[in-house]
Amino acid sequence: MSNDDTRTQDERVVTIERFADQGRCVAHCDGRVVFVRFALPGEKVRIRLDPGLSDSDRFWTAEVIEVLEASDLRVTPVWKLAGPLAQGGGVGGADLIHVSMPGQRKWKKDVIDQQMRRLGGVDTDVTVHAVPGDDEAQGLHWRTRIELIADEQGRPSMRRRGSHERVPLDDMPLATTELLGIARQLRLWDGGFAPGSKIRLAVPKLHGSDKRGENYALSIDGRLRRGSQGLDESVEDVAIGDTHRTLGYSVQADGFWQVHREAPHTLVDAVLQVAQEQITSAPHTIWDLYSGSGLFTQALGLLVGRGGNGLMSIEGAPAAVRSARRNLRHAGLSAAEAKHGDVSRTLRSVPERYLHPDLVVLDPPRSGAKRQVCRQIAQSGAKVVIYVACDPTSLARDTRTLLAEGYALKDLQAYDLYPNTHHVESVAVFRRTRR
C-alpha cells in the first residue's frame, strides 16, 4: 500500500474464478473480491487495479493487462479500440470483444441463471439464442443507431474509459453496413462538428425492394441535421394465426427503437408465439405496458382483432405515444387505445372495459417494472404475463414479486441481441396459479 492508502497502478497475478454481470469476472486478491474486465473463468492473468481503490473498499475492480494462461473461449478482439486499455483499447461499447460468440452466449446464460436463482428465487436453465448472421459477422454490423461525441477537433469520437480523453473514430464496427454507407455519404468521419456536441445517426434496416431516400436521421445535440424526423421501420413475415403480415411503423428520429437490425422481428415473433399459445379462447383483453412506439402493440392489436375485447397500451414518452397512435391508425386498429402516462399511475384508473386483462405484455426500461407495477398486474387478475427484459437483474427482482403474487415462471428464453457486449434480452412467461 502507498502512504495515501490508494492503489493507483498496483498489479497482481490472479486466477479468474467465474463469470459475473456487467461484463466482468470474479477473482480474489488480498482477501477480497475483485471484479475483472476482459477476463474469462479459469484464466491466470496479470491485472491492474483501478485507480483510487483502498483497503477500506468492500471489493476492488481491475482490468487484465496480460494473459498468462488463456481460456479456450478467448479470441483476439476484432475491434481493437474496444479491447483492454493495455492493448490500446478502452473506448467501451463492446466489453465482451475478447470472447468467442459461443462463449458470449455461455456467459450470458450463466449470468441470467445466477441472477434468477439469487434474486428471483427460482432455478432456470435458459437458452440464449443466436441471431442469424451474427456469428458469421463475428458480432459486428448489427447496430441501426449509433451515438458519438465530437472531440476537441470536431471529429466523431468515444471517450476512453477512466480518462477525459476522446478517441477519434473513422469507423464504427458494430454499426450495420447500411448505416456505415450513410455515414460515408454524409462524410461523418471527416468531422466539422462543434467540440463536445452529441452526434446520433439512425438508419433503419432496408427490406426487400425498399428504397433508402431520406429514411435516415443525423441529429446533432438532439436537432435534426440531415434526413427525416420521422423514420419508417418495418417488421416482415409476422405470423398472426394462419396469415403472415408485414408491420409498418413510423418512429421519431430521436425516439427509442430496438437497436439490433433483427431485434424487432425476433422479439415480436417471440411475444406473438407465446400470446397465441397461451390465450386460446376469445374474447380476450390485452395490456401492453412500457409500449414505446408500439412495436408489440400493433401485432397484439391484430391478434385482438381476431376476437377480443380490446387492447390498451401505456407509455410515458409523449413522442412515442404519438407515434404509436399514428401506427395503430395506419394499421386500421382504431379500437386499440394508446395511453400516455406513468405506468403505475395510469393503472390506478383503468377504463372498465380493460380492467381484467387475459394477457399482459411489458417491456420495461433497464431498471425493471418494480414491485408496485408487478402487484398491479397481479391485482388485475391477468392469466398470463409476458415480460420482455433487457436486464437480468431487474427481471430477477420482478420475478420474485410475481411469484409472491401467485404466478409461476413457465418459460424463459434469451436472445443475443447485443453481441460483443454483456447485454442480453430475455422473454419470460408467467402464468397465474393462485389468486
Q: Which residues pair with 12 in a beta bridge?
A: 47
Q: What is the 3-state composition of the chain as percent helix, strand, coil, each rounded to the nearest 5?
A: 25, 30, 45
CA pair distance 21, 23, nearest whole angstrom: 5
Q: Which residues are CB-contacts of 153 (< 8 A; sequence separation ≥ 6)?
A: 168, 191, 195
Instruction: Give CA separation, 423 vs 41, 125, 353, 391, in Å.
Output: 19, 18, 38, 7
What secondary structure does DSSP assign to 391-418, as a single string? -HHHHHHHHHHHHHTTEEEEEEEEE--S
Which of 180, 233, 172 is closest to 204 using CA atoms? 233
- Give the cell for residue 302: 391484430
Active site residue 390: yes
CA pair distance 19, 95, nearest whole angstrom: 13
CA pair distance 181, 188, nearest whole angstrom: 10
Q: CA dihedral defined by 378, 381, 382, 387, rounded to 10 degrees?
A: 0
Please name the amino acid found at residue 23.
Answer: G
Q: How many CA atoms lie within 13 A of 188 on its CB side?
A: 28
**Residue pointed to by grid coordinates 463475428:** 138
Helix (H, G, I), strand (E, B) or coil at 69: strand
Q: Where would I find the H helices in 308-358? A: 318-330, 343-346
Q: Which residues pair with 13 in a beta bridge?
A: 46
Over its C-alpha atoms, the chain yields an Rg (Å, rounded) of: 23
CA pair distance 421, 229, nearest whole angstrom: 29
Given 25, 29, 374, 390, the catalytic residue: 390
Q: Which residues are CB-contacts of 315 (< 8 A; sequence separation ≥ 6)?
A: 290, 291, 292, 321, 324, 338, 339, 340
Q: Which residues are catalytic?
A: 390
